[in-house]
């Protein structure tokens, strides 16, 4: 999954006014980007669906930034 694909998912899940998803977002936390836990769950579910893999539930809470989510989704793809 690419960063642009993740940005598309993030926009579909909503974005707060003043948050620039086209900027450097990889290492900003979900909270800094204006996403609450429900929105993050929606984002991670969409990423898993699009990447056609599943990230174990006990690992989802550790994915605090877009970089961590993309990295974990990529690991799952390489393992498949």
Query: What pLDDT shows up at residue 71?
Result: 93
d(CA 62, CA 50) in angstroms, rounded, equals 20
The domain spanning residue 75 has which CATH number? 1.10.1200.10
Specify if 19 maps to a domain: no
What pTM, to 2 d.p., does this model score? 0.86
Question: Which tops the pLDDT comparison, 3 or 16?
Answer: 3
Burial class from Cβ neighbours inside 10 Å (0-12, 13-18, 19+) for residue 40 reads buried
Q: Around 31, how many Cα atoms within 13 Å sit in the side-chain half-sphere?
A: 2
**What total of structural domains would you count in the chain?**
1
Query: What pLDDT shows up at residue 35?
Result: 94
pLDDT tens digits, residue range 8-50? 999 998 877 778 899 899 999 999 999 999 999 999 999 999 9
Rg (CA), the chain: 12
* Domain ranges, residue 71: 3-14+24-79
Specify if 62 maps to a domain: yes
Give the CA diameter of the chain.
38
Comparing 2-6, 12-16, 45-49, 63-67, the range with the smallest average pLDDT is 12-16
């Amino acid at each position: 999954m690419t960063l642009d694909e993740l940005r598309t998912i993030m926009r579909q899940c909503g974005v707060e006014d003043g948050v620039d998803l086209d900027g450097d977002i990889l290492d900003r936390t979900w909270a800094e980007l204006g996403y609450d836990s429900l929105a993050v769950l929606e984002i991670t579910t969409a990423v898993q669906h699009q990447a056609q893999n599943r990230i174990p539930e006990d690992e989802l809470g550790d994915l605090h930034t877009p970089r961590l989510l993309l990295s974990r989704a990529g690991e799952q793809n390489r393992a498949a």
